[in-house]
Amino acid sequence: MAKKQKKAFREFLESQNLRLTREREAIIEHVLRKHGHFDPEELHFELKGNGAKVSRASIYRTIPLLVNAGIIEKVENTDKHAHYELILGRKHHDHMLCTRCGKVIEFYSEGLERLQDRLCKAEGFKGNSHTLEIKGLCSRCNR
């Protein structure tokens, strides 16, 4: 199954005079197989396990490329290191984070998106991405 994300990456690299190397290919393929949020070290560990030989440096160098290509996005940190998730081909969503058990709830609200557009317009601001994180207790933890 030819992935549209790989195509997008290839085209992005081409547009920047960058090259699609074995390492970058291994990284994006691994990212596409993942579900949920991930971090660079996790990626490095798993890729080694897979037999792929990709250095930590290449992981850290490739992540910003995937971000700039619009394929992944940084998810703000509960932890102290960066977390990412696949976005190209997925529906946009925001997050609720349970501060007790760590559960992550993904949600989407059309009304929320429209309201943000209106608020931007009121400031003459041209928004082109946003992050909304709500912290609190999930349904299981809050009784």
Partner DNA sequence: AAGCTTATTGAGATTGAATCTCAGTCTAAG
Partner DNA sequence: CTTAGACTGAGATTCAATCTCAATAAGCTT
Q: Indicate which of Mn ion, DNA, Zn ion, none lies near residue 101 (CB less than 5 to 8 Å, by partner kind).
A: Zn ion
Asked if 85 interacts with Mn ion (CB under 5 A), we say: yes
Task: Tell me how far apart the alpha carbons of residues 66 and 23 are, in angstroms, rounded to a whole number.
Answer: 13
100 binds Zn ion (CB under 5 A): yes
Structure tokens belonging to residue 84: 């990412």
What does the alpha-carbon distance between residue 141 and residue 46 come to, in Å, rounded to a whole number? 31
Are residues 7 and 32 in contact, defined by beta-carbon separation less than 8 angstroms? Answer: no
Amino acid identity, position 137? L
What minimum distance in Å lies between the beta carbon of 76 and DNA?
Answer: 11
Site for Mn ion contains 42 (CB under 5 A): no
Of 4, 2, 29, 24, the C-alpha closest to 88 is 4
Binding site for a second copy (CB under 8 A): 76, 96, 98, 105, 107, 109, 111-112, 115-116, 119-120, 123-139, 142
101 scored as a contact of Zn ion (CB under 5 A): yes
Residue in 85, 89, 73, 69 with CA at minimum distance from that of residue 36: 85
Could you say which of Zn ion, a second copy, DNA, none residue 22 binds, taking C-beta under 5 to 8 angstroms by partner kind?
A: DNA
Of the two residues 21 and 116, which places its CB atom closer to a second copy in the complex? 116
Residue numbers of the site for Zn ion (CB under 5 A)?
98, 100-101, 103, 138, 141
